[in-house]
Chain A
């Protein structure tokens, strides 16, 4: 049996006024090139801004991010996914910061794996954990001129007595 190589992890937060998120860059990162291609399955998840939420017409979303802790949480989540589904899995996670219009890309998650089952499961794990744990907030801008912060998920601390997730 050949020994596997520990997977690579890339995480970042991009200011969308300066850079657009590039899903193909994520796919390329986890695919590799030439004889370096060792994955047989690449899963790409792209989050985009939709034009409605909870019955209100949405024009755009501003993302606020506590960058150092967010990037650390992305890294920890990817490492957890490696521990669950294989140390050889590759991960690319980039989240947007700033204001996006409808259709704007808010997050790109790419996972590369030797096999498809692990790629699907790890990708789902990463997006769900980011939604529940990473310090990112969205301010929705509505067609009626109003703006509102999403209710979100309450973060856990080890000795706080409240419910872990409140939607």
Chain B
């Protein structure tokens, strides 16, 4: 299935959206490995794996638990560590 990740913060430099292909029945936790792979070209300059691991995934109304099921066409937002105020 196809998932679109909307980026914020430190992920902005990799594009406003990142398209990922995931297996059917994938859950939120399953976004991380293909995301790291999709950003592999930047890994020499950035700690992509660390940034992805420290991030959470969300919709417009909630931060998603890791075991929430994903569906084809979902728009998910990735939230790196926050620094408001």
Contact = CB atoms under 8 A, between A and B. Distances in A.
Contacts of A151: 81, 83
B10 A137 contact: yes
B45 to A, nearest CB: 13
A18 interface: no
Nearest to A62: B12
A130 B85 CA distance: 7
Contacts of A139: 9
A68 B81 contact: no
A157 B85 contact: no
A136 interface: yes
Chain B facing A: main interface SS: loop
Interface of B: 8-10, 12, 53-56, 58-67, 77, 79-85
Interface of A: 47, 63-66, 68-70, 72, 95, 106-107, 127, 130-139, 149-160, 162, 166
B35 to A, nearest CB: 15
A64 B77 CA distance: 13
Contacts of B54: 154, 162, 166
Tell which of A65, A134, A152, A159 has the most Cβ of chain B within 10 Å. Answer: A152
A133 B81 CA distance: 9
